[in-house]
Amino acid sequence: MADKDDAKRNRTALVLGGGGLAGIGWEIGVLHGLARAGADPTGADLIVGTSAGSVVGVQLTSGRLPLPELYERQLADPEGEVPAGMGPGVLARYLWGVVRARDTQAYGARMGRLALSTPTEPEEVRRAVFAERLLALEWPRARRLVVTAVDALTGEFRAFDRESGVELIDAVGASCAVPGVWPPVTIDGRRFIDGGVRSSTNADLALGYGTVVVVAPIAVGGGPVLSARTLVSRLTASGSRVVLITPDRGARRAFGRNVLDPSRRAPSARAGLAQAPAHASQVRAIWPA
């Protein structure tokens, strides 16, 4: 066991958080900018993707397109992407859940009830969107990709990977199933919702890895929702070397008021690219050459 822990300590992890379509654009912009500055973390041994980050994780591990082309895709007209947003009623239920839930799992169950009771487009329609958005429909074999979700009935947190026996498209669809906006995803007879209900990053899945870069479009938490900074503190306390990258002022302006708006994707990608050089030296300082 000690040998396995030592081997893990010598490995690297990239954690990609949730943040809607704006978050996808920003993350790819940041990663493209880091790579151009000689600080590319996308070859990590482990990639953890939550919600938007799960989409980016699949695109990175597919091997289909290099970062420059992934970035250019973010600048293209978002034709086919359905605009979405959270109304006041949905936001109120989110906030009420944060106040009332006693722990993360209880909050997940509350958000699951919201998701299951909200009329949305059919699950199969949403699945077709991911069939177009993802560059691969099979789990990567060369590296480990972990995609997070939450059981809509129990609030239990799940981390899917190639060994889970779950189709990649369904794992990503579940991780992106924002309660009250998109339909829960059915996997093995269970319904699953957005992994960001537990944490916007779920960065603690990288515990034990010696070097970790966390790219978090949403850094804050609240109540039972674990913030990126809280989980990074746990990683640091465990001995990991960690760089946390969160949106700067320009990126927050680019996100606008609705990160689910497809029109925010391109400006967010540009903002990520512009922000990346400010973090490159930090990443180079910890990332293996």
**CA-based torsion, 131, 132, 138, 141: positive or negative:** negative
- Please give the Cα distance from 147 to 53 (Å, whole number): 8
Query: Can you tell me the distance from the alpha carbon of 94 to that of 109, in angstroms, rounded to the nearest whole number?
Result: 12
- Phi, psi (rounded to 5 degrees) for 37: -95, 10
Longest dimension (CA), the chain: 52
* 82 CB neighbour count, 10 Å cutoff: 12
Active-site residue, selected from the candidate residues 161, 194, 227, 261: 194
Is 51 a catalytic site residue?
yes
Choosing from 51, 199, 227, 268, which is the catalytic residue?
51
Residue 45 annotated in active site: no
3-state secondary structure the chain: CHHHHHHHHCCEEEEECCCHHHHHHHHHHHHHHHHHCCCCCCCCCEEEECCHHHHHHHHHHHCCCCHHHHHHHHHCCCCCCCCCCCCHHHHHHHHHHHHHCCCHHHHHHHHHHHHHHCCCCCHHHHHHHHHHHCCCCCCCCCCEEEEEEEECCCCCEEEECHHHCCCHHHHHHHHCCCCCCCCCEEECCEEEEEHHHCECCCHHHHCCCCEEEEECCCCCCECCEECHHHHHHHHHHCCCEEEEECCCHHHHHHHCCCCCCHHHHHHHHHHHHHHCHHHHHHHHHHCCC
Q: Give the residue numbers marked as catalytic.
A: 51, 194
